[in-house]
Structure 1
Amino acid sequence: MATLYDLLGVSDDASDADIKRAYRRAAMKAHPDRNMGREASAHAQFQEIKEAYAILSDPTQRSVYDAVYAEEMVRLAREQEEEARLQEVARQEAYARHVCVAMRFAEQGYNRDVVFGALLAGDCETQLAGHIADGALALHLSRQADNAMPRDAREPDEAMQASTSHSVGDEESQKADDRRHANLLSAIWHGMFGLHP
């Protein structure tokens, strides 16, 4: 956003003498008589320069302008921060959608090329699509390997506990096993996809 200071080509802490010099220089450069063939645009620019000088050369008007300008800059900065925050939220939501698509295709048994293609079809960037496809397939394969492993081989201590405990102990043991399994999957998930709880 161009300011009155920008129109004259000075900084916002310029002295009155600097503003006067800058005005004369800018007015001579933009004067319609010096801009043959583009008199209309030169006249408009010349008027803007005159108005800028009228405000900045008057101490009262200049202080009001500076206060309003500072307030506007704060407002614009807040708007930009909010816009950046909303863009980040949208980016994270899109990332989560892409991961869900990749996991769904991986769990249906599709190979990397199909998972990668599905991500590209969903407007995922190429490099990110490759990263997510690799991670989703690796996670799916680790789940399959974990499920294919006999229960005794997965948790040898639990197998011993199960043989000595009653049905209530079996239920608690199963819950503990489910928690460990969920924690492992969560750790793998966050490690591969960079998501944090």
Structure 2
Amino acid sequence: MATLYDRLGVREDATVDEIKAAYRKAVMKWHPDRNAGREEQARAAFLEIKEAYTILSDPLQRKVYDAVYADEMRRFKDQQEQERRAKAERERKAQAAAEASYAALVKTAMRFADDGHNRDVLFGVLLGRDCDAPLAARIADSVWALHESRKAPPPSPEPAKAAAAQAPEAPKAAAAPNEPQPSKDEAPAAEERSSGVFHSLWHSFFGLRS
């Protein structure tokens, strides 16, 4: 919304001297004699500039204009806010209605699927409910896939796990009753022989030297 201040190109708190200087500059720019070929446009702008200067150069008229303008701006902003809220409310209601309609279509498709009808029947029923074809196809596909998944048997356990669960536990090996046990003096010698064999194998494989 252009104001008288906008016409002169000054701020709303401009001084009288600033208003006069802006008026002289604007008059020079928009004088019809200086705008050959666009005289009508220049004449209209020239008259608006003169009107703005007449009001803003007079302290009393300027005060009245400021008060009226401020009041109109408040009304304008209030109107814009009301329109914004009304638009938001319309959009909210439209969204709620769309969601309710979609839920009703899904419910209808699920009812027909539970009655044993196939996917094509679901699609036709949805078309008969004024549902557009792409949406009807998506709902029919989803509901039919869900319905079929409910009828599928549960997966069987893995064969290896099932066999392991059924196999009897192997008995633990028992020590021979008559097998001789090494004496205390023979035990260190046996460990030493075992250690020697280990080191021999280690050096033969990796070529290490102690």
Give the TM-score, by structure 2 length.
Answer: 0.53
Residue equivalent to 1:25: 25
> For residue 52 of structure 2, what is the amino acid of its counterpart?
A
Higher gyration radius (CA):
2
Residue equivalent to 1:177: none
Residue equivalent to 1:99: 99
Residue equivalent to 2:2: 2
Residue equivalent to 2:51: 51
Distance 1:29 1:120, change over 3 A: farther
Number of equivalences: 124
- Please give the secondary structure, in 1, of the residue aligned with 2:109: coil
CA RMSD of aligned residues (A): 2.8
Greater helix content: 1
CA distance in 1, matches of 2:101, 2:25: 62
| Offset at residue 41 of structure 1 (A) | 1.3
CA distance in 2, matches of 1:7, 1:85: 32
Unaligned runs of 5+ in 1: 122-128, 146-197
| Offset at residue 120 of structure 1 (A) | 9.5
CA distance in 2, matches of 1:41, 1:21: 22
Residue equivalent to 1:160: none
| Offset at residue 108 of structure 1 (A) | 2.0
Unaligned runs of 5+ in 2: 111-118, 151-210
Residue equivalent to 2:38: 38
Distance 1:94 1:18, change over 3 A: same
Residue equivalent to 2:63: 63
Distance 1:10 1:90, change over 3 A: same
Cα deviations by residue, 1:83-131 (Å, 9 ceiling, x for unpaired) = 01100110100001110111111112289xx89xx9996xxxxxxx9xx
Identity value in percent: 48
Residue equivalent to 1:11: 11
Residue equivalent to 1:85: 85
Give the TM-score, by structure 1 length.
Answer: 0.57
